[in-house]
């Protein structure tokens, strides 16, 4: 490949894909591979440099994820981050031990040697640390380049083109992290900035065209930016051999079923089949209160509806019947990287947080083959691609909405009545946030219906009704988030409108939890 490539070996950090994303912000192509990737696979990509990610384990643990140490002898520039530093130290003859004092959160780092990696950085930088082990003895040939009060923060053996830091330059909490990564990627590795949205669109369209051949695909539209961008990309590759299916799963927002159909047909020119399966979903959700079970039920049902619809579509295709009625079917999904990283360990050993419905809920006997063109991207990158595809702002700027819809915002059992209550409250939140001009600045703003009733008074009447929580967060990519300080007058308006207009809610509270330790959705 003549595109400049950086390989990132994943040792299981929740932040690994952030490294890839930072590198793509320099318009440089990067690939995340599991740390166990064979050395031949790495060499075949002809990378200009390798980054060893962080990870949750101890490098001296016999079960610890390990890369082939031959990676350290390739002669390529290598940057170790956190566990990556410890991996290099351990395998090159130094010693890694459990630290007397763990470092977690902000730390002050003193740069004591201006290496090529630290070029242009001030002598003291604020960084994000997250480690329990530290390098107690450096490997031969390595020099200490940076320290904190408690531990080694940076090492290098520039003659062997090896650098490593104990902190995380890829997270936003390390303000100079981008400069450091730029020094590595552009200056040390000499990568060219030739990976652009146009390039992504071109290569994806080409790949999909080859994958699908003269087959047919269906796409699950949710109305959100991800599935719409995925559909437009695939339609670009295979034209009208793509049929989009939009399912009413009974937990959509108010009037969404009609609105989305219209936008997708009229504005994006997509070929859309709309299926109202709300009763089918709600009957499967009856009595289910466990969040993971809800997600699995919806994921399974979703695919079941798709299978049924796909069968109809493909059976209607004359040629396919002659081919023996085979379901030569592809299913396009707008799965993004955060859905993947939190559901399973695709590239390495990271921990499961939630089964996101595009991923964890797929039944094993699924008959459709998957195309997920956005699987390695973050939301803001998808928006960049959507803009390049000249899709309307109304779609591109939509706040994310989870696959399992309002079901994960109705705590306890999901019933048609509770869905209707939440739809009304949600509509008020969205419209007031839009009126206040906050919709685009906020990552997500929505209502959550709690399984809590409380006493109130309305007119002269006692009420005993549901509580609704308002959640509004700011985030760059959904991986971490801060609760939004929505102005009091906007909150006041939302609260008074919900209590007076939505029958069934008599109390509104505001969620002031960041992620972590909370998640954005309540389930
Ligand atoms: P959490 O709640 O895990 O959410 O902090 C992170 C982001 O992902 C969205 N989300 C989902 N998106 N299928 C999706 O397509 C899902 O099952 C799902 N669950 C959560 C959530 O709205 C937030 O933007």
Q: What's 410-435 look like in SS3? A: ECCCCCHHHHHHHHHHHHHHHHHHHH
Average pLDDT over the chain, rounded to an integer:
90
Rounded to the nearest angstrom, the distance between the alpha carbon of 521 and the centre of ligand 1 is: 7
CA distances 89 to 37, 92, 109, 406, Å, are 20, 5, 19, 48
pLDDT at 356: 57
Q: Is 170 a catalytic residue?
A: yes
Across the range 75-99, mean pLDDT stands at 96
At 430, list the tokens: 């969205």
Any idea which architecture 197-396 has in CATH? 3-Layer(aba) Sandwich (3.40)
At 334, list the tokens: 């707008």
Dist. CA 142–CA 67, nearest whole Å: 20
Q: What is the pLDDT of residues 424-433, one digit of tens each?
A: 999 999 999 9
User: Does ligand 1 lie within 6 Å of residue 148's CB atom?
Assistant: no
Domain 5-188 part of CATH 3.40.50.300: no
- At 165, which helix (H) or strand (E)? strand 162-165
- Give the residue among 370, 367, 318, 376 at the shortest CA–CA distance from 346: 376
Across the range 287-302, mean pLDDT stands at 95
Closest residue to atom 21 of ligand 1, CA basis: 402
Across the range 75-96, mean pLDDT stands at 97
pLDDT at 331: 85
Across the range 70-92, mean pLDDT stands at 97
pLDDT at 307: 78
pTM of the model: 0.75
Q: Is the pLDDT at 229 greater than 70, yes or no?
A: yes
Mutate to test the pocket of ligand 1, among 249, 521, 522 (most ligand atoms within 8 A of CB): 521
Ligand 1 nearest atom to the CA of residue 401, by list position = 22
Across the range 128-133, mean pLDDT stands at 90
pLDDT band at 316 (very low <50, low <70, confident <90, very high): confident
Q: Is the pLDDT at 281 greater than 50, yes or no?
A: yes
**Residues contacting 484, CB < 8 A, separation 6+:** 438, 442, 445, 472, 473, 474
User: Does ligand 1 lie within 6 Å of residue 339's CB atom?
Assistant: yes
Domain 197-396 identical in fold to domain 415-510: no
pLDDT band at 220 (very low <50, low <70, confident <90, very high): confident
Exposure letters 100-135 (e unless 16+ CB within 10 A, then b): eeebeeebebebeeebebbeebeeebebbbbbebbb
CATH among 3.30.1360.30, 2.40.50.140, 3.60.40.10, 3.30.300.10 for 415-510: 3.30.300.10
Dist. CA 429–CA 442, nearest whole Å: 12
Dist. CA 390–CA 227, nearest whole Å: 15
Higher pLDDT pick, 460 / 306:
460
Across the range 79-93, mean pLDDT stands at 97
Provide, rounded to the nearest whole percent, the portion of the chain with pLDDT above 70.
92
Q: What is the pLDDT of residues 347-398, one digit of tens each?
A: 444 555 555 555 444 445 546 688 999 988 888 889 999 999 999 998 999 9
pLDDT band at 478 (very low <50, low <70, confident <90, very high): confident
- SS3 for 256? helix
pLDDT at 359: 46
pLDDT at 358: 55
Q: What is the DSSP string of 355-388?
A: --TTTTT--TT--SEEE-TTTT--HHHHHHHHHH
Across the range 51-62, mean pLDDT stands at 94
Domain ranges of the chain: 5-188, 197-396, 415-510
Dist. CA 344–CA 361, nearest whole Å: 11
Q: What is the pLDDT of residues 1-46, one digit of tens each?
A: 578 999 999 999 988 988 998 999 999 989 889 999 999 999 999 9
The DSSP code for 349 is -
């Amino acid at each position: 490949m003549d595109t400049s490539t950086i390989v990132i070996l994943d040792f299981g950090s929740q932040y690994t894909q952030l490294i890839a994303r930072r590198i793509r912000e320099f318009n440089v192509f990067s690939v995340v591979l599991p740390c166990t990737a064979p050395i031949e696979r790495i060499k075949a990509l002809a990378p200009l440099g390798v980054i060893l990610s962080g990870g949750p384990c101890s490098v001296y643990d016999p079960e610890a994820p390990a890369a082939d140490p031959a990676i350290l002898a390739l002669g390529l520039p290598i940057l170790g981050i956190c566990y990556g530093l410890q991996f290099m130290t351990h395998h090159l003859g130094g010693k890694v031990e459990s630290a007397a004092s763990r470092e977690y959160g902000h730390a002050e780092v003193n740069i004591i040697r201006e290496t090529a990696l630290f070029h242009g950085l001030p002598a003291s930088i604020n960084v994000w640390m997250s480690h329990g082990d530290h390098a107690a003895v450096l490997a031969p040939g390595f020099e200490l380049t940076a320290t904190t009060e408690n531990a080694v923060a940076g090492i290098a053996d520039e003659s062997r083109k090896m650098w490593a830091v104990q902190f995380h330059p890829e997270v936003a909490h390390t303000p100079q992290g981008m400069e450091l990564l730029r020094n590595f990627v552009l200056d040390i590795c000499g990568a060219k900035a030739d990976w652009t949205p146009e390039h992504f669109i071109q290569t994806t369209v080409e790949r999909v065209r080859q994958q699908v051949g003269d087959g047919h695909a269906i796409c699950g539209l949710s109305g959100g930016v991800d599935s719409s961008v995925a559909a437009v990309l695939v339609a670009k590759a295979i034209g009208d051999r793509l049929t989009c299916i939009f399912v009413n799963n009974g937990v959509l927002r108010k009037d969404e079923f009609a609105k989305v159909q219209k936008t997708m047909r009229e504005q994006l020119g997509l070929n859309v089949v709309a299926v109202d399966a709300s009763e089918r979903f709600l009957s499967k959700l009856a009595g289910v209160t466990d969040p993971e079970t809800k997600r699995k039920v919806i994921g399974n049902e979703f695919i079941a509806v798709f299978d049924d619809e796909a069968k109809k579509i493909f059976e209607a295709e004359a040629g396919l019947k002659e081919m023996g009625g085979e379901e030569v079917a592809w299913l396009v999904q707008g799965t993004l990287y955060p859905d993947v990283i939190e559901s399973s360990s695709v590239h390495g050993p990271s921990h499961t947080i939630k089964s996101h419905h595009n991923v964890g809920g797929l039944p094993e006997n699924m008959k459709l083959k998957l195309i997920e063109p956005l699987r390695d991207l973050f939301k803001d990158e998808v928006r960049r691609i959507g803009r390049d595809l000249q899709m309307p702002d109304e779609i591109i700027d939509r706040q994310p909405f989870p696959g399992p819809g309002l079901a994960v915002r109705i705590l306890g059992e999901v019933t048609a009545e509770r869905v209707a209550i939440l739809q009304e409250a949600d509509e008020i939140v969205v419209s007031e946030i839009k009126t206040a001009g906050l919709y685009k600045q906020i990552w997500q703003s929505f209502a959550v219906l709690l399984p809590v009733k409380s006493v109130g008074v309305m007119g002269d009447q006692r009420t005993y009704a549901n509580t609704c929580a308002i959640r509004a967060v700011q985030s760059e990519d959904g991986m971490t988030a801060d609760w939004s300080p929505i102005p009091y007058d906007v909150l006041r308006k939302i609260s008074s409108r919900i209590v007076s207009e939505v029958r069934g809610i008599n109390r509104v509270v505001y969620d002031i939890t960041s992620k972590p330790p909370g998640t954005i959705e309540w389930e």
